[in-house]
Amino acid sequence: MPMTRIYTDDDADPRALEGPVAIIGYGSQGRAHARNLRDSGYEVIVGARPEGRAAEGAARDGFETVSPPGAARRARFVALLTPDMTHREVYAAIEPELSPGDALMVAHGFSVHYGQIRPRADLDVVLVAPKGPGDLVRREYEIGRGVPSLFAVHQDQSGTARQKALAYCRANGGTAGGTIETSFAEETETDLFGEQAVLCGGASELVTAGYETLVEAGYQPEIAYFECMHELKLIVDLMYEGGLSRMHDFISETAKYGDLVSGPRVINAETRQRMREVLADIQSGAFARDWVLENQAGKPKYDALLRRDLEQPIEKTGARLRERMAWLQPGANAGQA
């Protein structure tokens, strides 16, 4: 399999991105993108609900802030950075203000890939997805580095959509960190799978199952919490910094041997089959349909499942123990360089 190309600053032409740029939504990603693009020399207009918290925050940061349709009317490049489930409503509001050849950008392909919005054929439609939270995207940009990003093209009406996406990546620090080309389908499906099978669903279920196994066997809940949740950060940090090899460099030989012989007993062929089923639901659109219908119904199933998740015994044990961890308390790191 050929090595994936990683695009850098040299591959992006800043002139391909015409201003002003509209940032619709001013949450974690929206705020970081808006500030980075402004510092890269682009005129930025923030589109947010008048008198809402997002509009107030953008105004405090010195941005001209207007309604989403007003921002779209004045921009040639519109970044739609509101939550996925709002895209249909927001796009319906801004579409009449978009001119042929304008570019619409999203940071996650869900709404486009699953047909929640169907952009007009006379628009460029692209994706730019930094692989990190907004505060990290901003911090790395400020020190002259960047967070790796993905980009993709869904529609190329102008013939320059790809160049626009790369220029946006550059302005946001993405090409400094390294940018990889993908597709809307690949970005969306892998992102959902990672969240569900590994990062959120898989990790939380593994942690709680381990905790419950120890408590059921008669061990103290506090000890079970430390071993199954608290110390997870140590391992994740090592893997984040240098993959499996760095983890193996820093754990004991006893831990390594247990990893090698017992890991496959927990994550086995049956687990992988369940992962394939999760992926199949994502690829077929079944998960997306379920989530859209759940939102339309007012999220009763979601609310019940979330409430049950947060009422688990491990949450009560953890809350009591974390009260003693001074470094986790608000302001604990204040004044540090």
For the annotated binding site, the residues are: 26-29, 49, 134, 191, 195, 227, 231, 252
Residues ≥6 apart with Cβ < 8 Å to 280: 286
Residue pair 161/153 in contact (Cβ under 8 Å)? The answer is: yes
Q: Catalytic site residue 108?
A: yes
| Torsion, CA 28, CA 33, CA 36, CA 37, rounded to 10 | -160
Annotated binding site for substrate: 252
**C-beta neighbour count of 2 within 10 angstroms:** 4
Q: Which amino acid is at 308?
A: R
Pairwise CA distance, residues 178 & 32, whole Å: 18
Annotated binding site for NADP(+): 26-29, 49, 134
Indicate which residue of 33, 87, 108, 113 is catalytic. Answer: 108
Q: Measuring CA to CA, how many Å separate 334 from each of 9, 135, 137, 138, 270?
A: 35, 17, 21, 19, 47
Annotated binding site for Mg(2+): 191, 195, 227, 231
Neighbouring-strand partners of residue 251? none
φ, ψ at 257 (rounded to 5°): -65, -40
What is the Cα 90 distance to its own chain's centre? 20
Residues annotated as catalytic (active site), given as ranges:
108
